[in-house]
Each structure stands twice: as structure tokens, then as C-alpha cells.
A and B are shown apart, each in its own frame.
Chain A
Amino acid sequence: MTSEYAVVLVQSTSHAMRVEKLLRDGGIPCKMIPVPRHISSDCGACVRIQYGDMDAVHRAVAAAGIEVESIQAT
């Protein structure tokens, strides 16, 4: 079953802040959440997005030149 959400994984919380701001400015719903344990052992934060927005988010971060580690379904 496909999850309703995906997450944008980044290097640090500072990077997550930058992604969150970019997406909010672009009208893409998102929320900072702790990185889910099954995705990464990192203790930091990531940005949760709607699964259906994955392509739009890929385009937005690429256009802004923001380095992300991955964008993946939860």
C-alpha cells in the first residue's frame, strides 16, 4: 500500500529549514517531523510532504539548487 506521505531527507536541520521555507513559499504543504526510524538512524528532522507532491518537490529543490539526500515515500 502506498503511504499518503513522503519525506525529504537532508543533511541537517538547517537544511530542513531551508527546504520547508522554499516549499511554503511555493504553496506546497509540508511539515517538519523527526526522521522516521525505519528510513534513517539520524536523530534530526526532515520535511514531510504529500506523496502526490513528490515530483513538484523534486523540481522545486532542483530549481533552488538545494542539495537533498533523497525524497522518498514513507
Chain B
Amino acid sequence: MIYFDNAATSWPKPPAVAEAMTHFIKEVGANPGRAAHRQAVESGRIVYGAREAVCELFHAPDPLRLVWCKNVTEALNLVLCGMLHPGDHVVTSSMEHNSMMRPLRALEGPGQSSEGVEVTVAGCSPQGRLDPASVEAAIRPNTRLVALNHASNVVGTLLPVAEVGALCRERGLLLLVDAAQTGGAYPLDMQADQIDLLGFTGHKSLGGPMGTGGLIVGERVDETQIDPLIRGGTGSRSEHELQPDFLPDMCESGTPNVVGLAGLEVGVRWVLERGVGAIRAHEVALTRTLVDGLHAIPGVSVYGTLDPELQTATVSFNIDGMAPSEAGLRLDDEYGILCRVGLHCAPAAHKTLGTFPTGTVRFGLSAFNTAAEVQAAIAAVRRLAEGVR
């Protein structure tokens, strides 16, 4: 079996991830931050250790400005729904996932009325590339936020977040980055890239389990301007019936997913030990082989930049005359290749790429994939394409 659905969730995980999660369930078990007995303190240490690991990876200076969420979607919703008000203007891109687009469309209100948040979608090229000048051109006096994914979940194309980060600083705007597809797979530095709000997910290239993710709130963001998505017990300020107004507690109500965070910390430590640079180099090499191999097959269209340096290890393609759903089924049934087909929760991106509403076949690679697997997949696609012709 060849697992090429890592853009949806990575598998396998580093082996120590499951061990850390089992250890928590069997040996620790307590609720962090709700008591101070030894097991509760140990549980709190696990949560704090995961904060430190993620902040080290993303060069975020203060682990207490990291808010745990159940996934990056929740992190993006926390910013969009918690910080924007009617009359505010947001610039986003035409390559966004619905985790960004749907909350923005909801905030616009019915019929994009003047009572809602205003949204400008900066258009990207048919390869999914964004020109920072088109973001700049979209800025208005009431622009408050620029919200971008770091890389497309459909074709892997990287967006120029550092250039847009510099632009945002110059123009006094906040930059929100969705790092779902790049965290752990591509170098990301909140300070150097001038990112104010970084949403990440734990279950992709960070190697952690599902149900983990978060938002890192940069120093330029006034946290009192964030309206929490939920309120409740935090283990702090228990004498008050009002929600705390400091990070991370203000946005972390209720018992956290400590078993997940135990795994996440180990996943991130694995990434840090191996090095994002080394992981990236491995994935670039695999992507080059895959893109070149697929591109050379008659009747196969590969989308995106076709340049591994400009994208992540996610490659989308179609076989002429074969629906993505059929290709996906046959790759699974006949070749044991597991991938995702269709629209990948990103209709705007498909419209940009010209693959709407058919969608694509998507191979999402990870640090655990090998050159032999890539060669086997290319051979499988070639046989499928030959069968059509």
C-alpha cells in the first residue's frame, strides 16, 4: 500500500507519537490546570511542553501566546469571527480552502450587504501564484486584515507570505496565515516572515494526531480585541464569573485534548530533530520526480507551477477521459495507492486553476514517502492513462 493522502492527514506518524499518547492515558490521565497534585502538574507539563515545541518550530517567542484549538479551521474561525466587525475589510486570495472562505462569506452577510465584513479576493494565476501587488492594490482605508494560506491544499503552490508580511507592516495591517499545508514541511518563521496570527494543524506535517491545532498570536495583536469562540472554565480566576482577559486562558475554555497534545509534542520534536530543511529537501526531490514523471505521460495534465521549489509535496493532476473519482477508485483497488479526488474543499482554488467543478486527483506526499513509491505511482498512472487512449 502507498499512502499519498498526506495533504489531508499524515500517516504514518513518528512511532513515538502513539507511545506518548498511550503513556498519557495509562500513566498520567489527570486534568491539567485544574488542580496541583502531581498527576495534574505532569499533565500541565505535557501541555506546556507541546506549546514550547510548536513555538520553537515556528520561531514564536512566547509559548503563552499559543492558543490550542481542535484544528486549524477553529484557529481561523477564532480570528475571523473573533476579531472582525461589520465595516472591516479583509483581503484574501483566490487559492483559499473553505476553512478560510466559508467563515469570510458568512461574515459578509446575506447578499454581501453593507452591514457585514467586506471581503476582497485577490486573484491568483492559473498556477495558483499570488502577486503581492494584487494584495496591495486591494487595500482600502478600512482594511484590517490580510488572510492567506501559506500553500494551497490542492496544488501545493506557495503564497508569498513574507512579502505580504512586510507589506502588512508597512501599511499597519495584521497578517493571518493558514499554515495547514506547510507547518513542519516548509520553513516558517513568525518573526522573519512578519506573521501576526499563525493558524496551524497538528495532524499533518507536524506528525501529531487529529484533534490538535492552534493559533499563535503575535506581539502586535492586542488580545483584548479577540472575542473567544467559547467561554467557560479555565482553572484560573475561578472567583470570577467573567471570562479571563489574558492569553492563553481567555481562548482555552474547557478540558483540553491532552492525550492529543502529548502526541503532538513528540511529533513536533521529531520534526525539529530531523530538521525542516532536511524534510523539505527530501520532499522537493520526491516532488520533482513525481511532477516530471506525471507530466511526461501522454494524456495526463498536471496542475500548478510544475516547479517543486515553488510548491509543497502536494501534486494535482487529471487523466484525460477519466473522472477523478474513477482514477481514485482504480488507484486504490488495482494499485493500492491511496489518494484524494474531487474538489478538496477549495472551490475558489479550483476555479483559479480551471479544474472546477471536475476537481483533480491529488497525491499528497510526506517525509515518510520514498522514491520507490513515487516511481510505482507514476507507473500506475501511466497504465491507467494508456487504458483510456
A: residues with CB less than 8 A from B are 11-18, 21, 32-35, 41-46
Contact of B48 among A11, A18, A43 (CB under 8 A): A18
A11 lies within 8 A of B63 (CB): no
- Alpha-carbon distance A15/B250, docked complex (angstroms): 13
B236 lies within 8 A of A44 (CB): yes
B64 lies within 8 A of A13 (CB): no
Q: Who on chain B is nearest to A16 by CB? A: B44
Q: Which secondary structure characterizes the binding site on chain A?
A: mixed
Question: Which residues of chain A have C-beta atoms less than 8 A from B44's C-beta?
Answer: 13-14, 16-17, 32, 45
A27 to chain B, nearest CB (A): 18
B219 to chain A, nearest CB (A): 11
List 10 other contacts, CB 8 Å, given A13-B235, A17-B48, A42-B238.
Answer: A12-B235, A12-B236, A12-B249, A14-B48, A14-B249, A42-B236, A42-B239, A45-B33, A45-B40, A45-B44
B41 close to chain A: CB less than 8 A: yes
Q: List 20 A-B contacts (CB under 8 A).
A: A11-B244, A11-B249, A12-B234, A12-B248, A13-B236, A14-B44, A14-B47, A14-B63, A14-B64, A18-B63, A32-B36, A34-B35, A34-B36, A41-B238, A42-B238, A42-B239, A43-B235, A44-B33, A44-B238, A45-B41
- Alpha-carbon distance A42/B35, docked complex (angstroms): 11
Question: Which residues of chain B have C-beta atoms less than 8 A from A45's C-beta?
Answer: 33, 35-36, 40-41, 44
Contact of B246 among A11, A13, A16 (CB under 8 A): A11
B238 lies within 8 A of A13 (CB): no
A41 lies within 8 A of B239 (CB): yes
